[in-house]
Amino acid sequence: MRRRKRFLGLAVAVLALAGCAAPNPSASAGTLVVAGYGGSFETAFRQAILPDFEKTCSCKVTYIPGASSDTVAKLKAQQGSPQIDVALIDDGPQAQAAQAGLLTPVDPKVVPLGQVADVARMPGDTGVGFGLTATGLAYNPQWFAEHGVPEPRTWLDLADPRLKGQLVLPSITNTYGIGLLVGAARANGGSETDIGPGFDAVRRIAANAVTFDTTADVSNYFLQGQAAASVWGVSRVATLADKNFPVKFGYPDDGAIALVTTANVVNKAPHADLGQKFVAFLLGTQAQAELAKATYDGSVVQGVSLDPALAGKVVDTGDLGKLRKLDWTTINQQRAAWTDRWNKEVENR
């Protein structure tokens, strides 16, 4: 991974945003414990985010990598005596953690909530989104041109019979599958609270599917010519396009699905005040730019300067109007029933 470039004036900018005092050697340094994603995300955090925050606030940060579900499990296990101050988790598990009382609302006096796009605001402000990606239509434009099929514009376009044997669809066991079901429901007159139209639409779409992928990575199906279209994430499409494969991402006219990475201060965290400042720091324009370069997460605030090479690889602020949030409270309550119904009516017909 490329080393992250430092910019003059960063300390001044983040001090103003995060509300931190200037470094004071005589002050007792706190130790903030952050639990978040692993892999390239962890690398980016350790290289480009944590050192600057530590300098700004005269503190140390311990980073615990893990999947969102693992982090939420830790929060539940430690509920009586929390050891984690800030949890970085996907919006689906975040809704579960909030409902379980594991999170505390962000402080609007510290965290600039007014600058955050609506799609990245969490119910009750129990946490806040600091990165965005989108679930939508992934397709090979060359295949569509060669076969005289119009490029898909809506979720329901995937039911075009000319796509028979050309779709790889996500399983409902991953978030892309949930996005397909809810996106299809909304396009067919339904919603999370009226999911029947979604199943009606997905059954028609599934008639074109060659398989249902559970890995959330359909790149090999495209590369091996087994798929001309799928439901996938904008950053995943960008990664495949970087390999010079002809693939495009389409925001459905009836709304792409927003996937939000969230930052949350843990309820009764040992260093809650420092945690609030860290959440604010993540919303600074420099931190947002660094994360976009490293993770392809789109920014949630205006005024972030991105390298032109990132165009089309991340959700741009101009794309925010194309995104629709998921009602994760309803989804989490119904997911087991939806999975059972999906298995009976969609994958095992």
**Three-state SS string across the chain, please?**
CCCCCCCCCHHHHHHHHHCCCCCCCCCCCCEEEEEECCHHHHHHHHHHHHHHHHHHHCCEEEEEECCHHHHHHHHHHCCCCCCCCEEEEEHHHHHHHHHCCCEECCCCCCCCHHHECHHHECHHHCCEEEEEEEEEEEECHHHHHHCCCCCCCCHHHHHCHHHCCCEEEECCCCHHHHHHHHHHHHHCCCECCECHHHHHHHHHHHCCEEEEECCCCCHHHHHCCCCCEEEEEHHHHHHHHCCCCCCEEECCCCCEEEEEEEEEEECCCCCHHHHHHHHHHHCCHHHHHHHHHHHCCECCECCCCCCHHHCCCCCCHHHHHHEECCCHHHHHHHHHHHHHHHHHHHHCC
pLDDT value, residue 311 = 75
Which CATH superfamily, name and number, covers 30-132+258-314? Periplasmic binding protein-like II (3.40.190.10)
**Considering the chain, what is the average pLDDT of its residues?**
90
Residues 91, 94: Cα–Cα separation, whole Å: 5
pLDDT value, residue 15 = 35
Instruction: Pull the structure tokens for residue 71.
Output: 């982090």
pLDDT value, residue 309 = 83
pLDDT value, residue 17 = 40
DSSP β-bridge partners for residue 62: 33
pLDDT value, residue 16 = 37
pLDDT value, residue 128 = 98
Residues 80, 78: Cα–Cα separation, whole Å: 6
Q: Hey, CA dihedral for 51, 52, 58, 63, is it positive or negative?
A: negative
For residue range 24-51, what is the model confidence (pLDDT) as tens digits?
Answer: 332 334 799 999 999 888 998 999 999 9
pLDDT value, residue 11 = 34
Which CATH superfamily, name and number, covers 134-256+326-347? Periplasmic binding protein-like II (3.40.190.10)
Q: Hey, CA dihedral for 142, 146, 150, 154, is it positive or negative?
A: negative
Instruction: Pull the structure tokens for residue 344.
Output: 């009976």
Q: What is the dihedral of CA 224, 244, 5, 28, to 10 degrees?
A: -20
Cα 126 to Cα 94, 95, 102, 222, 272: the distances in Å are 9, 9, 9, 39, 13
pLDDT value, residue 308 = 86
Closest CA to 56 of 85, 36, 27: 27
Domain with CATH 3.40.190.10 in the chain: 30-132+258-314, 134-256+326-347
pLDDT value, residue 349 = 65
pTM for this structure? 0.86
Give the residues of the chain that fall short of pLDDT 50. 1-29
Residues 303, 307: Cα–Cα separation, whole Å: 13
